[in-house]
């Protein structure tokens, strides 16, 4: 569920390989030539941008989008330098620092239904492009805007993490993150089973949903799982977690860490308890598996918390991924 295809790019050869890998990935979803052409253009231009304008390269993260009956693809470009102080200047056709025609990012923006970027000089750049085969009426899920990355360990094909969301009324949203123990096929089986149970019981209290997961995952390796329910009417977040899934509410002035109890869903689980927290008007929910380090220095990223969730998820992944396990970051905020 929501697995991300990660394509490293450090030179023009890898940029070409990324385009071919993205085309093969997209072909499986049955999109037409026009959509496939736009995917190829965006991957080509963002990959070339990484190859030509960064010394160490970066990565393209690609995931499928589903909203109502519409489907699409999100392409996230991440690098750790050199960044730019005035990114808008880079968007002008004809602007280039590498002797190219300077039309790459402008072309990406023109073919995208959604395009945004966050860049810091000396730290790096994150760029997000969303392409839809048939654009939905709105890209917002009720009153919520959400996104995430879920990347398998580099030596694995499948991801042992999963995340998914479920909307109730327009002012509520549930989000689940599961991390199957270890990595590889057996971890993925556990995490995906957790996702199936989450979807199956939309009307249950979230603690009861987790209890059902515990029973259903008994034949699997087990997983760390957390569920958050955001409610704008009550202005609160309910959170239930077992195992090492990080939950935090970010605001302009503080970070509130959410409590997850010890144990493993499907194996050993003594206590399942829901904790409730106030939801601030500027709140942003972040949930992450333990493939992401937890000591975030948010003061390094002025303004990022209120940007598109894909950019925040991408930057946290870029700067805090451990590199020895599957890694997932999910970000939710209410629409402004």
175 and 313 share one domain: yes
Q: Domain for residue 139, yes or no?
A: no
Same domain, 127 and 270: no
Does 120 share its domain with 155? no
Instruction: Give me the residues paired with residue 167 across strands.
Output: 173
Q: Which domain holds residue 234?
A: 144-334
- The pTM of this model reads 0.92
Q: What is the pLDDT of residue 159?
A: 96
- SS3 assignment, position 59: strand
pLDDT at 138 over 90: no
Give buried/exposed letters for 122-131 (b at 16+ CB in 10 A, else e): ebbbbbbbbb
How far from the centroid of its chain's Cα atoms is residue 105's Cα?
22
Residues 31 and 85 in one domain: yes
End position of a domain, from candidates 102, 132, 162: 132
CA 195 remoteness from chain centre: 16
Please tell me what DSSP assigns to residue 125: E
Asked whether 312 and 278 are in contact (CB, 8 A), the reply is no
CATH code for the domain of 90: 3.30.565.10
Q: What is the CATH number of the domain that holds 204?
A: 3.60.40.10
My answer on whether 101 and 164 are in the same domain is: no
Q: Specify if 138 maps to a domain.
A: no
H-state helical runs in the chain: 12-27, 33-53, 87-90, 104-111, 185-200, 206-216, 309-320
pLDDT at 101 over 50: no
Q: What is the pLDDT of residue 100?
A: 46
242 domain residue, yes or no: yes
Tally of domains within the chain: 2
Quickly list DSSP for 167-212.
E-STTEEEEEEEEESSSSHHHHHHHHHHHHHHHH-TTS-HHHHHHH
Contact 173, 165 (CB under 8 A): yes
| Same domain membership, residue 128 and residue 204 | no
**Whether residues 171 and 50 fall in one domain:** no
Least confident of 58-67, 78-87, 165-174, 245-254: 78-87
Distance linking the first and last C-alpha atoms of the chain: 27
Neighbours of 232 (CB within 10 A): 17
Q: What is the pLDDT of residue 67?
A: 77
Contact between 58 and 11 under an 8 Å Cβ cutoff? The reply is no
User: Look-up: residue for tokens 């025609």?
Assistant: 101
Q: Does residue 137 lie within any of the structural domains?
A: no
Q: How many CB atoms lie within 10 A of CB 37?
A: 13
Q: How far apart are CA 291 and CA 120, in angstroms?
A: 24
195 located within any domain:
yes
For residue 335, pLDDT over 80 is answered with yes
Shared-domain flag, residues 9 and 62? yes
Q: From the centroid of its chain, how far is CA 25?
A: 18
| 87: pLDDT strictly greater than 70 | no
Residue 55 is predicted with a pLDDT of 82
Choose one of 132, 155, 177: the last residue of a domain.
Answer: 132
Instruction: Write out pLDDT tens, residues 140-160.
Output: 666 889 999 999 999 999 999
| Shared domain check, 105 and 156 | no
CA distances from 78 to 66, 105, 233 (A): 22, 14, 36
The answer to the question of residue 288 being in a domain is yes
Reading the block at residue 104, the tokens are 């790459």
Do 98 and 176 reside in the same domain of the chain?
no
Residue 188 has pLDDT above 50, yes or no: yes
Which of 132, 153, 170 is the last residue in one of the domains? 132
For residue range 11-48, list pLDDT tens digits in order: 989 999 999 998 888 888 888 888 999 999 999 999 99
**Same structural domain for residues 155 and 247?**
yes
Domain identity same for 202 and 75: no
Beta bridge partner(s), residue 63: 74
pLDDT of residue 258: 97
Averaged pLDDT for residues 100-112: 77
């Amino acid at each position: 569920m929501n697995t991300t295809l990660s394509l490293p790019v450090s030179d023009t050869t890898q940029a070409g390989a990324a385009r071919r890998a993205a085309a093969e990935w997209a072909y499986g979803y049955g999109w037409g030539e026009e959509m496939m052409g736009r995917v190829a253009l965006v991957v080509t231009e963002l990959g070339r941008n990484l190859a030509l304008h960064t010394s160490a390269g970066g990565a393209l993260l690609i995931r499928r989008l589903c909203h109502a009956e519409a489907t699409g693809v999100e392409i996230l470009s991440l690098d750790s330098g050199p960044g730019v102080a005035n990114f808008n200047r880079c968007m002008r056709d004809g602007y280039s620092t590498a002797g190219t025609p300077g039309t790459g990012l402008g072309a990406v923006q023109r073919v995208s239904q959604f395009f945004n970027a966050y860049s810091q000089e000396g730290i790096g750049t994150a760029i997000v492009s969303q392409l839809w085969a048939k654009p939905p009426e709105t890209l917002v899920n009720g009153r919520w805007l959400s996104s995430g990355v879920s990347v398998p360990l580099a030596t694995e094909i499948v991801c042992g993490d999963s995340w998914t969301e479920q909307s109730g009324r327009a002012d509520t949203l549930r989000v689940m993150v599961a991390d199957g123990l270890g990595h590889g096929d057996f971890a993925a089986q556990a995490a995906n089973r957790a996702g199936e149970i989450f979807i199956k019981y939309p009307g249950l209290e979230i603690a009861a949903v987790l209890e059902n997961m515990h029973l259903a995952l008994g034949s699997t390796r087990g997983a760390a799982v957390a569920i958050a329910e955001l409610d704008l009417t009550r202005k609160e977040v309910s959170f239930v977690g077992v195992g090492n899934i990080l939950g935090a509410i970010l605001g302009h002035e503080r970070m509130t860490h959410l409590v997850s109890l010890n144990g493993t869903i499907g194996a050993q689980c003594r206590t399942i308890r829901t904790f409730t927290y106030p939801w601030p008007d500027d709140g942003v929910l972040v949930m992450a598996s333990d493939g992401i380090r937890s000591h975030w220095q948010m003061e390094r990223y002025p303004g990022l918390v209120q940007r598109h969730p894909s950019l925040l998820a991408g930057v946290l992944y870029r700067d805090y991924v451990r590199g020895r396990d599957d890694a997932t970051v999910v970000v939710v905020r209410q629409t402004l």
